[in-house]
Structure 1
């Protein structure tokens, strides 16, 4: 009974350790300054490459004294045009103006602003805009939520009026342009919003003219700022496609010489547009309307370079990389999907002819050179995503031909690691390439996550700060590659030990991986941790052999639910601003607002399903496995019979990938990234076991009659697998020229009970 319960007890231990690790939160920002006044200065389109001591001297001095960061100007519509950016600023949530515009264009702010009393203003379209965001969009934004949270607001310029208007359209204090002496106006309310015009165009000379004009007006604002005030300068929107990262500078008491960050990004030096509203209210000491805000308050953190030029170069380079990432990533995944599809078609005839017959009659074997070439291509296909991740160690985005530079770096890395796998010790064994590829993938992704996920941010196989979905931790593609690499590595290691120790190996590696994925210090992906827990649980309960029975499935489900409930309860106990995605969803469920989250997740799943090349990889991989590898001539069932631990971890990978994708709103992207590794390795291993289907050699000490004579006992490691009907799983298969391993000799597919008795 103890041996049967061991996998379950070990998995429960993994759940406890994983939840404990996920419960720990990094220390919050040490500085949370306050102020009596807040002035938000918006300059749509302003980027860090527009800022220098000659063109924008005022902003340069302000950046030197204050805290800086890259602003992701995301709204409910892409690209974020100026009117959408101003509306998002005032909503503290992703919002959009209810007007149609040509795709890919960004018109200037064209909003009707009425001044019936010459003191304030009124936006007659505001109520219709609020209704549009509440009923037609999935974010539940309330334009005007920022203005409703303070007693009065000041707006200068039409864009600022959009941000400062209350939900019914009233602007408390309004001036169409910046007065000659703005001090009385800026000091009349605790919150002022100023529109300094747009910096647009691709011609740098044109941009410099607009930037100088905005900088001159900024100098007047700073000269007239109220005492104990915080001034925020932000490039609140894009002006054209593609989207870019923009300027964010905070200057005030307590904001000296740091990086800007927020709980919504979790990355030093990065801020979202929706974070500006909660930042203003937090600094002023006002309560946040949690039901309406999706952003989190910004805080300054240390470790900024002393030299301002070196500090400004960081967000400038990040903008350049993020801009190039979108173009290169599309081509990379399209080419990867095409390569995987062509490879899947090419291996079909090899699978049909891979099985060698013992007799003189049979199909002509495929030449060894062809098989070796296909094996190399399978290894390269499986290592494409890890190679593309590591390629970001080289700044390929800084050249004029960024795509070609990335391609050259990735191909060179891919050739190098493929050669390493080809000539690594143990390559000739059946599971040798699989273990090497899985180990390299786990090492590449895991090392990046443990060192701050710097290769994930704005990386081709990572996530883009321009998209606004994630800024730190493990991304969708990284999650798929990592969980597949970890589980395959665990299966490869488990297959090399006795049956009784296999659950220990799987659970030990799975626990460490859950901590890496879910810990807020590392992967920061609670959904991924839950998915991986489910996959590890399934793999642990069947890695000793047998099928996923109802009893085992029930235990695995209960363990996964225990992890989910434990993590959710711990997340709910945190402050609202520090909760993860699971905690926020449970809180919304309790308040009756979970419908918006489900609606957004469903929409994200659908958009990703129909528009991602990884969907093609996932579907083609599933078709290849089901209609080819699972056939009697496909070899995968034979592989699973000989190596039950590999069957367990591949089943666990499928479960984890599907759960992680659907719950995370990425549809089949996680499954596609995992399939890009698992399917080529499954094909390669299947080809090798089919090549040994006719082997009958059985070394002394592992033959069935040895159990009768007492040479070995069923407790000796994997010897009990040699009982008829349950093939042995220890040992490794060998290629031509080596003595066949015991697993091929007693494979249940090729040996009948009569043959075993005869032996």
Structure 2
């Protein structure tokens, strides 16, 4: 009865952990009405490196008194051209201007602004722009949503007209430039949008001059601002490739000397362009439009350094790091994929020749030194991703050659990690390197997440703030290696305990990983937590042996669905403006606009599948496993037979990585990151198992399954049973390469029993003395390996003769 209800109890425990982790949220400041007027001042291309006391004294003083942050100017087009930035500002969602443009260029035609009455203005192209965003772009943005949310708005300059135009093209009040006295114009409506010009080019002198001109216009705006007003200054767009982070400053009551942040970024000092529209409405105390903005209202948080120079250096350094990360990341993953493919090719002949030949003649064994070197290379390959994550603790992006500096730091960390694994106690055991690498990876990623995921942000193996996809928590690569490391570590621990306790160990380790991944305080990835729940459930139900049956798969599926449904119910009970991605998606399905989200997800999956080097890693790892490791000569089936908990961990990793990649729009990226860790370790363990496939145990009197041992599945190593001869297992340790069924010496009067030698066919493993028998249909394990009675004098005969007889 306990065995029957165990899956249900474990499922309930995993579900409870998952829902608890997802439902808890860090406290967020609720935006309150803080102003009677809002002035949005945009300067296309303005970066923090352009701000200094000499060139931009007005902006410097404003930053000193107000709140500052780095602004990601993502729009529906890459790069975000000035017209795209202004349109995104007014839509509150990722939008883009239509018209002919090159792949990396901007529309050639200028914006047409008509002034038929001298008061307002009209944009004749607005209708076609709305249709373009509604019908051809996946975000379904509605240009003019910000101006539609207020009774009256003012636009100064052509860029501001694009942001302030209503969906039918009308601008309430318009001026091509600031008048001599801007007070009446800025005070005529609660919302004013001002185009202060553009800062572009690579020449520092040119940029300084353009920043100085924009700062002078900003001084006029501040001098004419209405009473009790909030002024937001933003570097509204990019002007060149590649994309950069830009200036964001808020000055007004309640915005004194802090960091700007929002719920859409979840990190102090970072803001998105789509956050500006809801910030303006929240400051005015106005309701959000029915079709919610993609952005969230910004708030001001504390913790900013008192010295403004030090405070500005933080977003300036983040901009430089993000720019360097873009150029280094692609090269790193391409090289990683290439190295792992070469290792996969190089290991094939070693696998072919690793198993000792039972006959009088056979292939020449591979040199032990070559095998040792290959093992170290596999360990180094598996540690490359966590080493690259740690390398971001060093400010490599500040150097003249950031790519080479990053490569040198990463290489040193890989060497240090490989040495640590090599000299860790238990390295000689079959699962020693696998457990050490998995544990080290989980520790590195977990500590980074527990300390605020600082190494993930703008890191080479993390996420870039320039992409506008994620600003806090786990990245796609971080999630892939973390879930693989956690599940494999759980399998390693579970293999060390009695069979009956293995599901509990897998649930304990995996449940803790679910909390780390899903908690908004930590990993902040609800989709990843749901996928990991399914993987943990699969690993738990088969960790004690047996196969993934329909009923066991049903329990795992029910656990993942229960976590997802539980979190969805909690999220939907929150106010609409406070819901997470899952709650907003379900709300969109309810009002008939969920097709945009489905279209976006499918588009992201396809683009990632085609363009990511991690796809190569996933495919190469899958080919190596399927066409080599899982073959009769590959060793992985033998490894799975001896260590069922490891097989369970690998199966759970595949389930979690595939499910998380599809649901999160990451395609095979999640699987590629997991494969970078799991496949080299699977190959290494397979090599070791094959190398000792012919090992046998010494007879030990008084020890047999009937004497209280766990039979063939006992890998505890108690009793001093070890393989005959010397090998890399180093004897019968807890995780030795060979855990055969001990042969009990018969009484003198009884015929001796000798185990039948192993067959090369995986389907005949029950006769192999160094592998445990698989559980029967009832879940039990046979008490003894198949034996044949022979006379005492026949013990000295060869294994081939015994088998023949």
TM over 0.5: yes
Q: In the alignment, does 2:428 pair up with 1:433?
A: no
Contact 1:7 1:504 (8 Å CA) reproduced: no
Q: In the alignment, does 2:650 pair up with 1:633?
A: no
Q: How does 1:114-193 map to 2 (within 5 A)?
A: 114-193=114-193
Question: How far 1:565 sits from its partner (Å)?
Answer: 0.8
Structure 2 distance, partners of 1:749, 1:286, is 73
Q: How does 1:289-304 map to 2 (within 5 A)?
A: 289-304=289-304
Q: How does 1:319-718 map to 2 (within 5 A)?
A: 319-698=319-698, 700=700, 706-708=704-706, 711-712=707-708, 716=709
Structure 1 distance, partners of 2:673, 2:84, is 34
Structure 1 distance, partners of 2:299, 2:291, is 21
Q: SS where residue 70 of structure 2 aligns?
A: strand
Structure 1 distance, partners of 2:283, 2:446, is 37
- The alpha-carbon distance between structure 1 residues 669 and 197, as it changes in their structure 2 partners (threshold 3 A), is same
Structure 2 distance, partners of 1:639, 1:749, is 14
Q: SS where residue 70 of structure 1 aligns?
A: strand
Query: Once structures 1 and 2 are overlaid, which stretch shifts more, 740-749 or 567-576?
Result: 740-749
- The alpha-carbon distance between structure 1 residues 312 and 697, as it changes in their structure 2 partners (threshold 3 A), is same
Question: How far 1:362 sits from its partner (Å)?
Answer: 1.7
The corresponding residue for 1:735 is 727
Q: In the alignment, does 2:771 pair up with 1:751?
A: no
Q: How does 1:5-404 map to 2 (within 5 A)?
A: 5-29=5-29, 32-106=32-106, 110-404=110-404
Question: How far 1:306 sits from its partner (Å)?
Answer: 0.7
Question: How far 1:729 sits from its partner (Å)?
Answer: 4.8
Q: SS where residue 393 of structure 1 aligns?
A: coil
Residue deviations 1:404-451 (CA, integer Å, cap 9, x gap): 110010001001001111111100000000000000100000001111
Contact 2:155 2:194 (8 Å CA) reproduced: yes
Structure 2 distance, partners of 1:87, 1:152, is 18
Question: How far 1:13 sits from its partner (Å)?
Answer: 0.9
Residue deviations 1:447-471 (CA, integer Å, cap 9, x gap): 0111110000000000000000100
Structure 2 distance, partners of 1:40, 1:420, is 55
- The alpha-carbon distance between structure 1 residues 88 and 669, as it changes in their structure 2 partners (threshold 3 A), is same
Q: SS where residue 196 of structure 1 aligns?
A: strand
Structure 2 distance, partners of 1:381, 1:578, is 42
Structure 1 distance, partners of 2:537, 2:81, is 47
Structure 1 distance, partners of 2:510, 2:441, is 15
Query: Once structures 1 and 2 are overlaid, which stretch shifts more, 7-16 or 426-435?
Result: 7-16
Residue deviations 1:250-292 (CA, integer Å, cap 9, x gap): 0000000000001111111000000100111111111111424
Contact 1:33 1:254 (8 Å CA) reproduced: no
Structure 1 distance, partners of 2:767, 2:326, is 51
- The alpha-carbon distance between structure 1 residues 108 and 40, as it changes in their structure 2 partners (threshold 3 A), is farther
Q: SS where residue 314 of structure 2 aligns?
A: helix
Query: Once structures 1 and 2 are overlaid, which stretch shifts more, 296-305 or 96-105?
Result: 96-105
Structure 2 distance, partners of 1:376, 1:578, is 49
Query: Once structures 1 and 2 are overlaid, which stretch shifts more, 390-399 or 586-595?
Result: 586-595
Query: Once structures 1 and 2 are overlaid, which stretch shifts more, 272-281 or 97-106?
Result: 97-106
Structure 1 distance, partners of 2:216, 2:344, is 62
- The alpha-carbon distance between structure 1 residues 119 and 346, as it changes in their structure 2 partners (threshold 3 A), is same
Question: How far 1:737 sits from its partner (Å)?
Answer: 7.4
- The alpha-carbon distance between structure 1 residues 355 and 742, as it changes in their structure 2 partners (threshold 3 A), is closer
Question: How far 1:121 sits from its partner (Å)?
Answer: 0.3
Q: SS where residue 146 of structure 2 aligns?
A: helix
The corresponding residue for 2:775 is none
Question: How far 1:736 sits from its partner (Å)?
Answer: 4.0
Question: How far 1:673 sits from its partner (Å)?
Answer: 0.1
Contact 1:356 1:694 (8 Å CA) reproduced: yes
Residue deviations 1:294-344 (CA, integer Å, cap 9, x gap): 111111111111111110000000000000011100000000000010010
Q: SS where residue 197 of structure 2 aligns?
A: coil
Question: How far 1:742 sits from its partner (Å)?
Answer: 8.6
Q: SS where residue 43 of structure 1 aligns?
A: strand
- The alpha-carbon distance between structure 1 residues 699 and 332, as it changes in their structure 2 partners (threshold 3 A), is farther
Structure 1 distance, partners of 2:572, 2:516, is 21
Q: How many residue pairs end up in the alignment?
A: 745
Structure 1 distance, partners of 2:128, 2:154, is 22
Structure 2 distance, partners of 1:108, 1:174, is 24
Structure 2 distance, partners of 1:702, 1:686, is 32
Q: SS where residue 673 of structure 2 aligns?
A: helix
Contact 1:429 1:735 (8 Å CA) reproduced: no
Structure 2 distance, partners of 1:500, 1:470, is 41
Q: SS where residue 44 of structure 2 aligns?
A: coil
- The alpha-carbon distance between structure 1 residues 672 and 301, as it changes in their structure 2 partners (threshold 3 A), is same
Structure 1 distance, partners of 2:200, 2:107, is 11
Residue deviations 1:52-82 (CA, integer Å, cap 9, x gap): 1111000000000000000000000000000
Question: How far 1:98 sits from its partner (Å)?
Answer: 0.4
Contact 1:34 1:284 (8 Å CA) reproduced: yes
TM-score by length of 2: 0.90
TM-score by length of 1: 0.96
The corresponding residue for 2:753 is none
Structure 2 distance, partners of 1:577, 1:356, is 65
Structure 1 distance, partners of 2:413, 2:647, is 30
Question: How far 1:101 sits from its partner (Å)?
Answer: 1.7
Q: CA RMSD in A?
A: 1.7
- The alpha-carbon distance between structure 1 residues 736 and 237, as it changes in their structure 2 partners (threshold 3 A), is closer
Question: How far 1:642 sits from its partner (Å)?
Answer: 0.1
Structure 2 distance, partners of 1:586, 1:176, is 43
Question: How far 1:697 sits from its partner (Å)?
Answer: 1.1
The corresponding residue for 2:749 is none
Contact 2:56 2:212 (8 Å CA) reproduced: yes
Question: How far 1:109 sits from its partner (Å)?
Answer: 7.9
Q: SS where residue 242 of structure 1 aligns?
A: coil
Contact 2:379 2:680 (8 Å CA) reproduced: yes
- Consecutive unaligned residues of structure 1, counting only runs of 5 or more, are none
Contact 1:106 1:239 (8 Å CA) reproduced: no
